[in-house]
Structure 1
Amino acid sequence: MTKRKWNGWLLVRLAFSAVVLVITGWIAYLVWDPSGSGQEGTASAASLFDTAGQSPYKAGLPSEQGFKVFAETNSLQLLVDETTAHFQVVQKATGNVWRSYPNPANWKDEKISGAWKNNLASPIVVEYVNAKNYKSSSVTNGLVENQGYLEDFKQKDNGFTVTFAFPKIQFKIPVEVTLREDYVETRLIDSGIVEGELSLLNVKLYPLFGSEPSTGQEGYILLPDGSGSLIQFQSDRTMPQLTYNESVYGPDLSYYNEYTDRQRIAMPVYGMKSGEQAFLAIIAEGESYANVYAAPAGSVGISNWVTSEWQYRKRFFQSVSKSSGEGFYTYSGDRFVSDSRATRYYLLGPEKSNYAGMAEVYRNYLIGEKGVTPIKSVKPEIPLYVDLVGADIEKGLFFDSYLKATTTDEAESVVRQIHERGIGHMQIHYAGWQQDGYSTHGGYLPVDKRLGGNQGMKDFIAYAHSLDIPVYLTADYTLNTNGDDGFWWRRDGLRNLAGTVLEEQLNPDQDASTYVSPKFYRKVIASDLDAYKALGADGIDYEGGIAQEVITDFNSRYSASRADVVQIQRDILQQSHETLGSVVASNANFYALDKLDHVHRLTGDYSYDVFVTEPIPFAQIVLHGLKTYTLEWSNVRDEWDDEFLRMIEFGAYPAYVLTGEQAENLRRSYSVWYYSMNVKDWLDRIEEEYAQANEALAPVQDRFITDHRTLAEGVKETVYGGDYRIIVNYNETAYVQDGLTVPANNFIVVKGGA
């Protein structure tokens, strides 16, 4: 087991550990407010509801004749029904209509009944609970079931505002709908929310926007699941009751999360195509507190629909005994409050009504509003990304053993051998260089002397620079295993809502790693950056939590909401970039894109839900021409041929994880379990794969992907700028069509639009 170095803390502290844990947990639960807002209006909520003279919300859909033009742009019209607060958006060039409610032409065929039929027609659906009774169950309802009504409906420039009142459950929720040049935006106004005795869990605002049934048209729901996936419109599906509901930017480990093994949502987007029209929804504000909820036809009504589910409270486990594991599930006290919560619906006509058109919208949004700059200059050849592993540790009889794999001298040899194969454009990520190697976190600097120390690293980086090759040092500051950097787990560990310090244990033979409070690791990184610069490093390769995990911190010393953690990580990336000149992150959430120069090991997979009909490279279509990216390391692939072809199809660059000649030692290590990393075993394959990838992708390094489609089963086409196509054939037989032949398990490049 790893011997933690707690550096002199008196044993008497341990005697009070249980008391400290319980007190901290209950203080966090009782007084911590992630927004600083408390509960506006709770005590006097009942007095704010005067139903006299109010018209209760009626069941059913609004009359199509009751809509009036409220706003207009060069391309769109906004029509509103003042009696229901529902709206329509009309695309002037095509006459296409997107409704905020189900298509009336199919409403008579709706099979779902009772409360949920009323919910489908409601402009707002809420889920709530009696949080004072931990045994109570949550309830989901719309306006009709709660005898709700519209309050303070007002037309404004380019839209309207309205407050949805729920007198039976004493909620008031103000919203705003605004028309812009090419999108309509729906917004929740958190500062005006009123709650009574019950607790608001989540809100779906205009959940059926753009919804359509499967019959009579082709279409699909676009999910931001991993790299992207589609749910094709179908009338008969396997397990039709299943829905999709996942948190944007991944689960928050400080709350209860049902284990689904799904890919993380890195992009706050979703969309739908129906016939010759489509929309892309971008959760533009408050996305840290949003879920993407999708209901394919047959799961909740006959329509296919997808929406933002805005979170206000989450469930968590309140432990009462750490030794026995006893406790109970309840909900967080104060609701999450965001400065704003807004979803934009960008409307696409026939020529752009596909997922490539949706990706173009999101790419333009990232460039125009999030400061992501396109690639401006490229070298003649594509880059090869080489990850080097310095060392790791393994379990010993009394003490852990150090397993050396790549010294700084050997790292120089690895780079030289690859360079001698004619590959001059490389980028090096050096991992496991810290004290005690890859599995050890905390006290990263100086470089372990057994690998060459600081001087050895300086010499290696200088050698790489002589070949115009940048070197990034890989680190994960979100975990601590040894107590270095002045870290004490009780004081500086990240705590969940129950007050428990969070841990991660990837290997049962090793002590668990402790999650570090984000505000603490921000200080540590800031103090380390000059040391990285002194080594000559071109940047840091952030592996692990930064840009990937967003976890609320209930440590009273460092309390940070989910939105705070996003900003802390963005600040870290910005400071790293300013100090070192560049920064890389693995499989990053897209809130980090404007701070990154490369996204490493971007997922190229999806979650394999039974209702998903097709995985797509949506993230890669968005990114190509904006940022370089790789998929999984080439030499750890499960299916060599298919995953190589996927790399070509997705426009990704090759990446390998390598060591010097001592790779065999790492088979017994805690974290580096890959058996084949010796550079000598891979030189021929690297040279061959790089040549193939370079031939296909070098001419389009700075180009956007403008289209992607399936030509036949197992045959995919990726288009760059309209005049450069790569066709990939995953089949065991050749694909022959329109004078083109793509050999089995291979690809071809078609230039000039031929």
Structure 2
Amino acid sequence: MYFKHWIKKGILGLTLVSVLVLTIGVFAKPSPQSDYEGLPTDGNIMDETYLSSNQFTQEDDLSLVENFLDIPTSYLLVGESSSYRLYMEEGSFAIRVESKIDGFIYGSSISTKDDNLPNFNTTWEGIVNSAVTIKYYSYNDTTGAYTSVEESFLKSEDSTYEYELIPNGFEATLYFGESGISLLLRVSLDNDYLKVEIPNESVVEGDTYKLRSIKTYPFLGAVFSNTVPGYILVPDGSGALIRYQEIDVLTDIYEFRYFGQDNSVQTALTQEPVLSFPVSGMILGINQHGFISIVEDGAPNASLVVSPAKNNLKYYYTYNEFLYRSLYQSPLSESQAASSSGRLVIEDGINTCNVVLKYKFLSGADANYVGMASAFQSYLIEEEMIVDHVDDGDAEKLFMEVIGSETKTGFIFDEYLQMTQYSELKSILEEIASWDVKPIVSYKGYSSSGNTSSGLIVDNISKKLGTRQELLELINYAEEQDIDLYFFLDPVKVYDDAKFSIYKDIAKRINQNFMMSSGFTKDIYYISPARSVSAYLDSVAKLKQEEITMYSVGSVGNTLFSDFSDKSNPVDRNEAIDFYQTMFEGSSDPVILYQSNLYTLKYSDVYLLMPLSSSRYRIYSDTVPFIPYVLSGLLDKYAPFSNFTSSSRIELLKMVDYGVYPSYIITNQTAYLFQDTELKQIYSSSFSTWKEKMEFDVNFVSSALNAVVNEKPISRERLETGVYVVEYTGGVSIYLNYTNNTVSVDGHELNPLSYEVVISDD
């Protein structure tokens, strides 16, 4: 692609040479009249309406909730642990879980399989009562179209089963009479978890119908309308709640794909939320009862589905659906291939998907979103999916993404923009060190090709940014000052003017188009997972020759897709994860990843671009710090770049509230130079403009969070509209006032848009 890029420029140059020879006068690029880049100001007035919106956490209804389910006599006791009893109904394999802690009963159905259920038709009775419901594809010979058909296990009289008891549970082989599809369901108590499994090798298809998806126990925890105070937790952004409301207040069903859409099969919608952590939950009485649901295996093929109470189905319920096969558009001509259109067909093969779900039940003070975060953190520690990397030093914390250079496409020759030279970055770090701040730095665009034009394997270190001696002085200064200076690599995507082989390096979609998307000024190509590994290792080896040993890695942790380059042996998303993990396994090189999904979390020294909000869908009632609290005490977390926030004080308060540190994109030169480049969305970045604001932000946030380093939140309470208190282990509380008014709470007077740290004497 790099060679093709220069051929086009050469042809253009030959065409225009005669015009250029005759041109009289000197053409010069005008400079901006001012290097001033204004700071954002707080123009929004925080009022009752804004603070009561789903961008904030709302008041809890703490009404007492009694058992609303019982254990029918037809249910068999099949498992018992120190805290729970598991019951099963033979034939439907619906379950009840009884807590020995508080006596509360959780159930996957409302009654028994033989009872007529109010508010449900026959089809839905089957879905509610069945342990497993599948969807399969039916082909219409007349129209040539595929339709998706839903089949609960109880739908057909031809369905059959065999089951046996196992330690603390049961196994059931289920044959679906309508589709001819069979599978094995395994349910057991695993210490304090309820474990539900469908092994991949147990799924067998018939000759006629092909499996689309599987869901298990979709009505576990279902709530009729708003009869129970509580909510559903969705790990969208920082975390979102869906509080139970009256029937038909909300009617849309929402589906969220873990780790984002697989763009090699189906293109994601614009701004579609990415669930980086495969966990969800329900609260059935706040501070009383609830559970989290963890997708332990199968998450790359799973979606979280949430349905509100509607007139035709009066329950709030949520479940995980596992996708085994998709519809896609198969082109019948070159023009259809170019436009990604064609005839809708189903995938030939079936996704490799081991379904493993774990439910952790919560009681008392743990039955809320803070307790959910704590329970999920405990699970991650148990499974060694997270590593304690918290920096417990006294220095204040800041993340900076520093851009060294960028390439601007010229009429004939490209222009190399020197944005932050090695010596300039060293001077910036020296000034920041005088603030008693220890920044984490990701240095981008240090190669001879600029930031977005760098090749798949990193290009030579730029001499235009300084001498090798100046580079080594920068690296040595960072080491001496205990500053973490990472050099950026992205082995998953390249821009169209970079050095790569489109046929050897680029992944293919299921329709055999190359994996690509459109940037602001260039096209972006996505690298096949296997090639990403070798390219990363080659780049690391090359950088180590320059004494560069710390790496910030883009896209690997947050971009996941299948690769159909080899049609006979495609790489699915599970296999792609395996490839990405091999980049870091066994390596002691310090690495940071951008907004990492769960599967690479343990490899990153910090968590970058931690969201401070959710996608704010209409179904959401609240935004909560669920994901930040999951990582509390284990990973330092850094917010999205503050260059682009409009309500800076509100964002700073959220950082304190959520336990997250500030981030900035920084250059030495003005961002005006980025106009007409791929980085043109960066409209303000020069250190001289932002340094005063940066110093204030860092001091504002760290003055609070330094009191809770290595501590974990144990509760978060909304005291009144816009006023909260977060209690931590170690006896520290942080009071926050998001309002424009002075408020008095618990004997503390809080100024507008401020916080107070209170340390217990006990």
TM range (shorter): 0.7 to 0.9
Q: Take 1:5 and 1:397, find their aligned partners in 2: how far apart are those partners?
A: 12
Which residue of 1 is the match for residue 538 of structure 2? 527
Which residue of 2 is the match for residue 433 of structure 1? 446
Contact 2:91 2:161 in 1 (8 A): no
Mark the CA change 1:668 to 1:453 in structure 2 (over 3 Å): closer, same or farther. Answer: farther
Q: Secondary structure at the match of 1:367?
A: helix
TM-score, normalised to structure 1, is 0.87
The number of equivalent residue pairs is 691
Report the alpha carbon displacement of residue 753 of structure 1 after superposing the two structures with TM. Answer: 7.3
Mark the CA change 1:215 to 1:636 in structure 2 (over 3 Å): closer, same or farther. Answer: closer
Mark the CA change 1:162 to 1:352 in structure 2 (over 3 Å): closer, same or farther. Answer: same
Which residue of 2 is the match for residue 588 of structure 1? 596
Which residue of 1 is the match for residue 199 of structure 2? 189
Report the alpha carbon displacement of residue 615 of structure 1 after superposing the two structures with TM. Answer: 1.0
Mark the CA change 1:273 to 1:343 in structure 2 (over 3 Å): closer, same or farther. Answer: same
Mark the CA change 1:260 to 1:144 in structure 2 (over 3 Å): closer, same or farther. Answer: farther
Which residue of 2 is the match for residue 501 of structure 1? 514
Contact 2:214 2:323 in 1 (8 A): yes
Which residue of 2 is the match for residue 286 of structure 1? 298
Partner AA of 2:414 in structure 1: D
Q: Take 2:677 and 2:666, find their aligned partners in 1: how far apart are those partners?
A: 15
Partner AA of 2:750 in structure 1: V
Report the alpha carbon displacement of residue 130 of structure 1 after superposing the two structures with TM. Answer: 2.5
Identify the match of residue 607 of structure 2 among 581, 599, 613. Answer: 599
Please tell me whether residue 235 in structure 1 is matched to residue 246 in structure 2: yes
Deviation string 1:416-437 (CA, Å, 9 cap, x unpaired) is: 22223x2241221111212322
Which residue of 2 is the match for residue 542 of structure 1? 553
Q: Take 2:693 and 2:700, find their aligned partners in 1: how far apart are those partners?
A: 11
Which residue of 1 is the match for residue 256 of structure 2? 246
Deviation string 1:662-688 (CA, Å, 9 cap, x unpaired) is: 433123321252222111112222222
Identify the match of residue 332 of structure 1 among 337, 343, 347. Answer: 347
Q: Greater CA deviation, 96-105 or 680-689?
A: 96-105
Which residue of 2 is the match for residue 423 of structure 1? 436
Report the alpha carbon displacement of residue 104 of structure 1 after superposing the two structures with TM. Answer: 7.8
Q: Secondary structure at the match of 2:514?
A: coil
Identify the match of residue 346 of structure 1 among 360, 365, 387. Answer: 360
Contact 2:722 2:739 in 1 (8 A): yes
Q: Secondary structure at the match of 1:216?
A: coil
Which residue of 2 is the match for residue 635 of structure 1? 643
Partner AA of 2:399 in structure 1: Y
Mark the CA change 1:205 to 1:677 in structure 2 (over 3 Å): closer, same or farther. Answer: same
Mark the CA change 1:587 to 1:726 in structure 2 (over 3 Å): closer, same or farther. Answer: same
Q: Take 1:341 and 1:290, find their aligned partners in 2: how far apart are those partners?
A: 9
Identify the match of residue 423 of structure 2 among 409, 422, 427. Answer: 409
Q: Take 1:111 and 1:731, find their aligned partners in 2: how far apart are those partners?
A: 44
Q: Which ranges in structure 1 are unaligned for 5 or more consecutive residues? A: 9-60
Please tell me whether residue 309 in structure 1 is matched to residue 311 in structure 2: no
Q: Take 1:380 and 1:258, find their aligned partners in 2: how far apart are those partners?
A: 43
Q: Take 2:348 and 2:117, find their aligned partners in 1: how far apart are those partners?
A: 42
Partner AA of 2:565 in structure 1: N
Please tell me whether residue 474 in structure 1 is matched to residue 488 in structure 2: yes
Report the alpha carbon displacement of residue 535 of structure 1 after superposing the two structures with TM. Answer: 3.1
Which residue of 1 is the match for residue 281 of structure 2? 271
Identity %: 23
Mark the CA change 1:139 to 1:120 in structure 2 (over 3 Å): closer, same or farther. Answer: same
Deviation string 1:593-625 (CA, Å, 9 cap, x unpaired) is: 111111111222211211110011111000011
Report the alpha carbon displacement of residue 158 of structure 1 after superposing the two structures with TM. Answer: 0.9
Report the alpha carbon displacement of residue 382 of structure 1 after superposing the two structures with TM. Answer: 3.2
Identify the match of residue 222 of structure 2 among 190, 211, 224. Answer: 211
Partner AA of 1:243 in structure 2: I
Partner AA of 1:726 in structure 2: I
Q: Take 2:253 and 2:392, find their aligned partners in 1: how far apart are those partners?
A: 43
Report the alpha carbon displacement of residue 482 of structure 1 after superposing the two structures with TM. Answer: 5.5
Mark the CA change 1:241 to 1:663 in structure 2 (over 3 Å): closer, same or farther. Answer: closer
Which residue of 1 is the match for residue 461 of structure 2? 447
Mark the CA change 1:228 to 1:261 in structure 2 (over 3 Å): closer, same or farther. Answer: same
Q: Take 1:372 and 1:311, find their aligned partners in 2: how far apart are those partners?
A: 27
Please tell me whether residue 296 in structure 1 is matched to residue 308 in structure 2: yes
Which residue of 1 is the match for residue 47 of structure 2? none
Which residue of 2 is the match for residue 64 of structure 1? 72
Mark the CA change 1:495 to 1:411 in structure 2 (over 3 Å): closer, same or farther. Answer: same
Identify the match of residue 567 of structure 1 among 578, 583, 586. Answer: 578
Mark the CA change 1:700 to 1:148 in structure 2 (over 3 Å): closer, same or farther. Answer: farther
Which residue of 1 is the match for residue 503 of structure 2? 490
Q: Secondary structure at the match of 2:396?
A: coil
Identify the match of residue 231 of structure 2 among 220, 224, 231. Answer: 220
Partner AA of 1:430 in structure 2: Y
Q: Take 2:647 and 2:440, find their aligned partners in 1: how far apart are those partners?
A: 25
Please tell me whether residue 677 in structure 1 is matched to residue 685 in structure 2: yes
Which residue of 2 is the match for residue 698 of structure 1? 706
Contact 1:84 1:150 in 2 (8 A): no
Q: Take 1:546 and 1:537, find their aligned partners in 2: how far apart are those partners?
A: 20
Please give the root-mean-square deviation of Cα atoms over the aligned residues, in Å.
Answer: 2.5
Contact 1:232 1:612 in 2 (8 A): yes
Report the alpha carbon displacement of residue 559 of structure 1 after superposing the two structures with TM. Answer: 3.7
Report the alpha carbon displacement of residue 438 of structure 1 after superposing the two structures with TM. Answer: 1.8
Contact 1:151 1:163 in 2 (8 A): yes
Which residue of 1 is the match for residue 371 of structure 2? 357
Q: Take 1:595 and 1:609, find their aligned partners in 2: how far apart are those partners?
A: 32
Q: Take 2:145 and 2:394, find their aligned partners in 1: how far apart are those partners?
A: 64
Which residue of 1 is the match for residue 403 of structure 2? 389
Report the alpha carbon displacement of residue 154 of structure 1 after superposing the two structures with TM. Answer: 0.8
Mark the CA change 1:225 to 1:237 in structure 2 (over 3 Å): closer, same or farther. Answer: farther
Report the alpha carbon displacement of residue 75 of structure 1 after superposing the two structures with TM. Answer: 0.8
Q: Take 1:366 and 1:246, find their aligned partners in 2: how far apart are those partners?
A: 22
Please tell me whether residue 555 in structure 1 is matched to residue 565 in structure 2: yes
Mark the CA change 1:587 to 1:732 in structure 2 (over 3 Å): closer, same or farther. Answer: same
Mark the CA change 1:108 to 1:719 in structure 2 (over 3 Å): closer, same or farther. Answer: farther
Identify the match of residue 368 of structure 1 among 382, 394, 401. Answer: 382
Q: Take 2:730 and 2:128, find their aligned partners in 1: how far apart are those partners?
A: 41
Q: Secondary structure at the match of 2:694?
A: helix
Partner AA of 1:274 in structure 2: L
Mark the CA change 1:127 to 1:371 in structure 2 (over 3 Å): closer, same or farther. Answer: closer
Contact 1:131 1:199 in 2 (8 A): no
Which residue of 2 is the match for residue 18 of structure 1? none
Mark the CA change 1:661 to 1:739 in structure 2 (over 3 Å): closer, same or farther. Answer: same
Report the alpha carbon displacement of residue 187 of structure 1 after superposing the two structures with TM. Answer: 0.5
Q: Take 1:101 and 1:201, find their aligned partners in 2: how far apart are those partners?
A: 24
Q: Take 2:334 and 2:350, find their aligned partners in 1: how far apart are those partners?
A: 27
Report the alpha carbon displacement of residue 138 of structure 1 after superposing the two structures with TM. Answer: 0.9
Contact 1:183 1:346 in 2 (8 A): yes
Report the alpha carbon displacement of residue 262 of structure 1 after superposing the two structures with TM. Answer: 2.7
Contact 2:160 2:176 in 1 (8 A): no
Q: Take 1:184 and 1:334, find their aligned partners in 2: how far apart are those partners?
A: 31
Partner AA of 1:734 in structure 2: T
Which residue of 1 is the match for residue 170 of structure 2? 160
Mark the CA change 1:753 to 1:205 in structure 2 (over 3 Å): closer, same or farther. Answer: farther
Q: Secondary structure at the match of 1:710?
A: strand
Contact 1:254 1:316 in 2 (8 A): no
